A and B are shown apart, each in its own frame.
Chain A
């Protein structure tokens, strides 16, 4: 299993954090200085899960984001979006979810297909999602596996 780690890169205006592995209660964000740039880009692409203890650690980490900074999130899984929707403080106020995955489930073969949705700006509408698509594995109909109304709740704030 991928070990937890955070890789950092500083660009002219952006501090980019790429997170790897599982966010659990024993992870440490110590030593990451969030005050170096006002735009903090968090890439969740390599996160393989987050447990309840990890949520707590993550929120404590996000408390260190300076008020005038902005967190931009990419490659958010359903699990991450669920936390954003359920837990206040999972992301600071001035955050933006730029890309996120939408899963489709095929009851014929039981497999899942995911699509990455991208937004340019918060105010832009999210493109309408198809209720059904063709399963990548067996070609049968795969159904969207989110409750759109509650899943998309984040877009009002982030």
Chain B
């Protein structure tokens, strides 16, 4: 780990409340709560980060060698200190704040969805929002794929155990797959000169972040064949890995039995080859009961 004393001093002054910034080799102070810890590290590979997160359940893992380190730290602090706003605003809304530099945005586009048929419509709308951006693998392939995976999970997996008889919903006719009552999901998208920001909020709050992290971990460890077999019943591994490879930041925020949000940041002026090995950040928060 490099010497970040200067920036640490600066940052530790600004850290609100009981939030603690730790390096992986640091001992956690006795008074600290793991869910309030931000890990700042220099993981050699994206797999190393995932493996670390598997065995060290903190909230935020950010990389000080990333050129967006201070923005990632700010996201972590905002998530830790303003968690109650997320159901209404999502994460991306926060990026309008003056504290952000590389991630600063002006506008967020939001779309509501209630059924599988909405996926295509929202993908089309997002394509229109981003049509001024260069055409490359990120804008034409990665963004639609991530939106699809986000929404598919929100529609098929999030209602499991909450909606009656949802277990076999994948086998049913599309038109039947509709959230009940007033429930709806929300997709948010924003972009600035360098990055695209995507998020998806489902109104169930059943998502278990550890399953996603462990699914990604398995794809690295065992190869995707075995994961796919497991996937047939549980969902997870391959889709999450596809997202993880294509973004530089991946975040999950769950308010149990209330809502769950996933979000990611994707640079669109970098090749996918560079993105795959870029220092990545991971944000995981679970609250409520």
Q: Does A111 contact B (CB under 8 A)?
A: yes
Contact A110 B225 (CB under 8 A): no
Residues from chain A with Cβ under 8 Å of B239 in the complex: 51-53
Residues from chain B with Cβ under 8 Å of A109 in the complex: 134
Contact A112 B225 (CB under 8 A): no
Contact B120 A51 (CB under 8 A): no
Contact B124 A105 (CB under 8 A): no
Mask for A58-69, Cβ within 8 A of B = 1, else 0?
010000000000
By size class, the interface of chain B is 35 or more
Residues from chain B with Cβ under 8 Å of A26 in the complex: 116, 170, 174
Contact A49 B133 (CB under 8 A): no
Say whether, besides A53-B152, A145-B273, A78 and B137 are in contact (CB < 8 Å).
yes
Contact B225 A105 (CB under 8 A): no
Residues from chain A with Cβ under 8 Å of B228 in the complex: 55-56, 59, 87, 89
A86 and B242 CA atoms in complex are apart in Å by 11
A86 and B231 CA atoms in complex are apart in Å by 15
Chain B at the A interface: mostly helix, strand, loop or mixed? helix
Contact A112 B231 (CB under 8 A): no
Give the size of the chain A interface in residues (CB under 8 angstroms). 32
Residues from chain B with Cβ under 8 Å of A78 in the complex: 137, 141, 272
Say whether, besides A55-B228, A110-B134, A22 and B273 are in contact (CB < 8 Å).
no
Q: Does A146 contact B (CB under 8 A)?
A: yes
Contact A145 B137 (CB under 8 A): yes
A146 and B137 CA atoms in complex are apart in Å by 11
Q: Which residue of B123, B136, B170, B269 contacts A25 across the interface (Cβ within 8 Å)? A: B170
Contact A112 B174 (CB under 8 A): no
Q: Does A79 contact B (CB under 8 A)?
A: yes
